[in-house]
Structure 1
Amino acid sequence: MPNLSTANQLTALEQQLLNRATEFVPYLQTFGTLIDEERDIPNEVIQKISDAGLFKLGTPKEYGGHDVSIRAMVEIISEVARGNGSVGWVVQIINGNNYNASLSFPPAVLDLIFNQEEEVRFCSVLLARKATVEKVDGGYWVKEGFWGFGSGSKQATHALLNLLDAPAMSKSNGPTLAVVPMSQVTIVDDWYTMSLRGSASNSLQMKDVFIPEQFVLVQDMKQAPPMPIEVTGRDQYRPYVQLITNITTGISAILGLARGAVEHFVEKAPHKGITMTVHTSQAAVGHIQYTVGLAAMKVESAHLHIGRAIDNLERHVKNAEQLSLKEIAQLQTDMTYAAMLCWEAVDLLVAESGGSVIADSNRLSQIFRDIRGGSNHALTTASTGLELYGRVLMGMPPQHLLTLAAASFLKQPASELSK
């Protein structure tokens, strides 16, 4: 299934990285069953991804990264996921977190982090399930902490963790983000799932760990000042980091999985009949043709929604403009709606794939499981996004915590509903 991006939207370097990712697709497809069975990505695969520079998409150039555009990040990572969902998910999470961390912490702290490792890779969990943390001289003492779904934890060098759990967050004006080397974090081997089995989305645990104050960022959304207009370059994106998270750490892998499903079905259909019928080739059957067309249009429509969100964000960044509450909600809903369209496309194809599709080793079955889990992520859950957009359109305050955080950071009151 063709990538809908046009050459003039990517730089020469970004196109080169996209081509590298595309070249990996057949290679990654051979590891599908092994990755699911081992619940891990082979070191060989991780090394090839690293050698190709695909873990440095969101890393600033001053630290040896590529610092690609948000659009390029989506396109490149979706190609990786077209080869394998777990690999795409890990590449997505690490690059998105590297990008977000580099926009959140001051340069002096980034120097300490990125100059310690040849290749920094962040996993993250932005809400603790349980955290007992004490402010002490020079930093924070984590008596006990437990965080769920630390995707990419086995490949990460650092974790970006919110030191607040839900009760503490309800009393706070924003998260308390800490950068912690993975050497101080215990990975709990509890990722036994039907979906994204190789993503290492294990729980993370800390006990009696001291975190120096310089590696902790207390975000007060109610006090965050707007970014001055004269700021240029990468720093222009700093006020929008809450919204960028929606794009960089959720939808790319889902888009790639859906593209891969359409391609796989189209490749197999001419050589596959329909049991208990006279049809010897699915490709010659009218309702299969209709289903493939519908599935493909859903995936292409999802890409258009993603593109609209990126275009809108880039326009506001370029003009140093704040987004209205409606625009913030629309951007978030574009991501969740795109995820729903991708999931629906795969579901349509699975329904026409016969009994063999239920085998664990069946590629479409692997995609089906991975995209279902990915679409259930908090940033890509369609029901949450559509509720959000409906509430804002009808003049009600948003229910989504990330919307409230982004609106607060950008100084948009909940009652502001400008078009």
Structure 2
Amino acid sequence: MTDSQVESVLKAVRDAVPTLRKNGEEAERQRWIPQENIDLLEQAGVFRIATPARFGGLDLSLADQAKVLREVGRGCGSTGWLAMVWVSSAGLAALYPDEAQKEIFADPSVRISGGFTPTGTLTPTEGGYLLNGSWKFNSGCRGASWNITAAMVDKADGTQDEAVAIVPMSELTIADDWHTSAASGTGSSTSTAKDVFVPEHRVVSYEDAILNTTPGRTAEVTPGRAYGLFTYIMAECAAAYLGIARGAYELFLERIPGRGITYTSWDDQRQHPLTQIQTATAANKISAAEALLGEVIRMLQERADAGEQPTFEEKADVRGQTAYAVQLAKEAVEILYTASGATAIQRSVPIQRFFRDAEGFALHAILLPSTNLEVQGRVLLGLDPDTPFL
């Protein structure tokens, strides 16, 4: 992938940002992003950025993927989150055996949804498994061709192991149950499988996925692209979130000129010292969050280039540092929204949607500072992390 190709994707996404912002109200009304948003990202090449080059993908580095996802998030929080889900899931699909990858990447711009909460079961049967279960908060399922489903595998001795199956989205049903105050456009409905047959080559154990040791692959993940399962996901989540914060900051700056402060003698809010302090504080929090994420990505790339997985301690640091970056960005958006005045509550004013999306996405279990800082803190103190999600 050349620098010019990366810039081509970035330019196309930047050009699409005004349209993504304009479509925000419609995305909320229909509880799913407009098709125009998907088409613009498709044309820009966004859905190919994590697809392996051997299947016609762009195979971007994590740093370049993060740049693209931040740009999408600048335009629309829901669209940015969906792009992150589809892109990161495509990256994870490269962990499956060759036979599955050929099926999945028959379309280099494949969109894959899914999650890692094992709320389903895989029962062994001839040639594979029967999948049953339901998965809530399945972001992107309405626009995906494939879906990653975490489940417990029932073993003959009565015990269970965790595994991740990938199935055509057409074989699952989608409930109309997404009615939310934030992330409304993600259409993150509940998906359900009932006795869906999954061939053996489309099921990977949690351990193999985490350690990048899946059997049945003659072509390993592209050199320099094996970032580790959860560290990769968390970096991509943080990138999309920081894009939302940057978008809120831009909207705030656009909104301020010419605004006075009601019931005061101030006819230009920019002249008020409090507004100046709020603006600088928010800008610095976002920049600090971006710098922290940049360090995370730099470390992950160093490990990937060396053909190594991040160390145990580094994985714990990634969890804590990405969550802390999100916390800083969330605080920045809160400052900007508070400084925006009462008229900002109107649905026609985009910053209120960026604020609600930032609040909502920050509640996602994978981004919660309390959970992630606990894991990092335990490891820093020489304790067991008390979680397999590293």
TM over 0.5: yes
Distance 1:119 1:261 in 2: 29
- RMSD of aligned Cα (Å): 2.3
Distance 2:210 2:184 in 1: 40
The 5 Å alignment of 1:185-334 reads 185-220=172-207, 234-238=222-226, 240-248=228-236, 250-334=237-321
The 1:269/1:146 distance shift into structure 2, 3 A limit, reads same
Q: Secondary structure at the match of 1:234?
A: coil
Asked if 1:374 corresponds to 2:361, the answer is yes
Asked if 1:154 corresponds to 2:142, the answer is yes
The 1:58/1:381 distance shift into structure 2, 3 A limit, reads same
Asked if 1:392 corresponds to 2:379, the answer is yes
Q: How far is 1:88 from its partner?
A: 0.9
2, 14, 27: which is aligned to 1:35?
27
Q: How far is 1:44 from its partner?
A: 2.2
Q: Secondary structure at the match of 1:123?
A: strand
Amino acid at match of 1:244: Y
Q: Which residue in the other structure is 1:122 paired with?
A: 112
Contact 1:57/1:67 (<8 A) preserved: yes
Contact 1:29/1:83 (<8 A) preserved: yes
Contact 2:137/2:189 (<8 A) preserved: yes
Contact 2:223/2:307 (<8 A) preserved: no
Distance 1:154 1:141 in 2: 23
102, 105, 109: which is aligned to 1:111?
102
Output one character per residue of 1:277-297: Cα deviation in whole Å (capped at 9) or x when no partner. 111111111110110000000
Q: How far is 1:367 from its partner?
A: 0.3
Q: Which residue in the other structure is 2:7 paired with?
A: 15
Asked if 1:145 corresponds to 2:136, the answer is no
Asked if 1:64 corresponds to 2:64, the answer is no
Q: Which residue in the other structure is 2:156 paired with?
A: none
Distance 2:389 2:73 in 1: 26
Amino acid at match of 2:164: L
Asked if 1:177 corresponds to 2:169, the answer is no
Q: Which residue in the other structure is 1:363 paired with?
A: 350
Distance 2:121 2:108 in 1: 33
Q: Secondary structure at the match of 2:130?
A: strand
Output one character per residue of 1:150-191: Cα deviation in whole Å (capped at 9) or x when no partner. 1111110000111229xxxxx656x31111101101011111
Q: How far is 1:361 from its partner?
A: 2.8
The 1:311/1:86 distance shift into structure 2, 3 A limit, reads same
Q: Which residue in the other structure is 2:337 paired with?
A: 350
Contact 1:21/1:77 (<8 A) preserved: no
Q: Which residue in the other structure is 1:82 paired with?
A: 74
Amino acid at match of 2:71: E
Long gaps (5+) in structure 1: 1-8, 166-170, 404-419
Distance 1:225 1:45 in 2: 33
Q: How far is 1:315 from its partner?
A: 1.3
Q: Secondary structure at the match of 1:402?
A: coil
Asked if 1:163 corresponds to 2:151, the answer is yes
Distance 1:282 1:239 in 2: 45
Contact 2:82/2:139 (<8 A) preserved: yes
Contact 1:128/1:146 (<8 A) preserved: no
Amino acid at match of 2:242: L
Tell me how many residue pairs correspond in the alignment: 381
Q: How far is 1:48 from its partner?
A: 2.0
Contact 1:82/1:257 (<8 A) preserved: yes
Q: How far is 1:110 from its partner?
A: 0.6
Provide TM-score, normalisation by structure 1.
0.86
Distance 1:223 1:381 in 2: 21
Q: How far is 1:224 from its partner?
A: 5.5
Q: Secondary structure at the match of 1:348?
A: helix
Of 305-314 and 156-165, more deviation after overlay is shown by: 156-165
Q: Which residue in the other structure is 1:413 paired with?
A: none
Q: How far is 1:233 from its partner?
A: 7.1
Q: Secondary structure at the match of 2:190?
A: strand
The 1:119/1:315 distance shift into structure 2, 3 A limit, reads closer
Amino acid at match of 1:17: V
The 1:136/1:233 distance shift into structure 2, 3 A limit, reads closer
Q: Which residue in the other structure is 2:123 paired with?
A: 134
